[in-house]
Amino acid sequence: MITARAFAGKHYAVYGLARSGLATVEALLASGAKVTAWDDSPEAREKLVSCEGRSPGLGPCLRRDTEWDLSNFDSLVLSPGVPLNRHPLAARAKAANLEIIGDIELFARARGELPPHKVVGITGTNGKSTTTALIHHILQTAGVPSAMGGNIGLPILAQEPLSPNDKGAGVYVLELSSYQLDLTQSLDCDVAVLLNITPDHLDRYENFDAYAASKARLFELSSGLHVQGCIPAKAGIQSGLLPSQEHNWPALQGPHNLENATAAIAVCKALGLSEEAIEQGLRTFPGLPHRMERVRERDGVIFVNDSKATNSTAAAPALAAFPAIRWILGGRAKSDDLDECAPHFGHVRSAYTIGEAAELFERLLKPHMPVKNCHELEAAVKAAAQDAESGDTVLLSPVCASFDQFKDFEERGDRFRGLVGAL
């Protein structure tokens, strides 16, 4: 794990004990800090047991947050999932003038004690995970020491510090959500990437401009190269140009993945990789689960898991990529329209709506295509499979968050995969 002498002797409050929270507690304790932690979930608290046994003399770790005297702490480390705009603990910390940070900021403060390295930060509404994983894969394929972390689900503090080798300094590749950027103050990236900005997470921000400003903070923090994707160009920002040559990148199909690949190429060139090394990485990239993931072919019908498509902009590329689709969509809606998907309705032969948004999407889609309100994913998969003909694609691309029926988009995609496998 990544530790730092800079944390020793300080007292941190850690609220939220999911993956990044647990890794934060472990790293802080290993650094010689004192930690008081809490999570409202009993299951999350159970994962953090016997802190005294792991770090003798540091005192109890778990204490209900309502009992915290915030004047006793040096910093409050929040999970990115805790809403800064409405959680009472955040309000209490602000009133007490206690700094509120996240694990990415702790990583930024530990950098001075790490071996020579570089940091690539990637943000944007869509494409972050694929671009992060692609850059990491290209670096690994080229023999450059690299570690991947952040919003992609791998806590950066849980990674081992990178040591330089004959290919150069190590590179930390970070996927950064707007929530993480809100909790970050001093992350100076060697290469900062802003892929795109479209409306999302508006329950956490006053308006779209506030959300966009949160994303743009990555450029404000970073003094290195700025790489901008398909959003209006600004002074001092390098916009990537799409490769014009023919390419053979099996896991990077569709125009959206061409944009992701373009950003990755720009980053890797900036890091000094050769065109040959970059091309090899692009060609061998295996792709990511839940992102236009081909699950199975059955009687000429392809089943595709695109559970990560949690908004209309993210779902549109999958609709564009297949000519004859049986579309499963729904969940907890982030908006009351499907405008970004509308240009590709001609590719959809029939739709199957699920979750809280089932009635809304049924009403929106009925003028354009046959629609069945299936309520549950199980019924939708069964109905779509029955209706599908050879040459069709049964596509789970939900346009919605998963939290009405599933823990997260991974659980939803895993469930789809299991249902398809059982057909």
Q: Give yes or no: 137 in active site.
A: no
Active site residue 260: no
How far, in Å, CA of 10 to CA of 6, rounded? Answer: 9
Catalytic residue flag (residue 151):
yes
Q: Which of 34, 137, 151, 347 is catalytic?
A: 151
Residue 405 neighbours by CB under 8 Å, 6+ apart: 331, 354, 355, 376, 377, 412
**Torsion of Cα atoms, 353 then 359 then 360 then 366, to 10°:** 70
Supply 350's token pair: 């029939």
Q: Which string of DSSP letters, residue by residue, matches 89-149? A: HHHHHHHTT--EE-HHHHHHHHGGGSPSEEEEEEE-SSSHHHHHHHHHHHHHHTT--EEEE
First-to-last C-alpha distance (Å) of the chain: 43
Catalytic residue among 117, 118, 128, 347: 128
Query: What CA dihedral angle connects 341, 131, 161 and 37, to 10 degrees?
Result: -10
The amino acid at residue 338 is L
User: How many whole angstroms separate alpha carbon 377 and alpha carbon 406?
Assistant: 10
Sign of the C-alpha dihedral, residues 333, 337, 343, 349?
positive
Of 295, 293, 365, nearest to 327 (Cα)?
Answer: 365
Gap between the Cα atoms of 260 and 250, Å rounded: 14
H-run or E-run covering 86 = none
Extract the tokens encoding 334: 């982030």
Greatest Cα pair distance in the chain: 67
Active site residues: 128, 151, 201
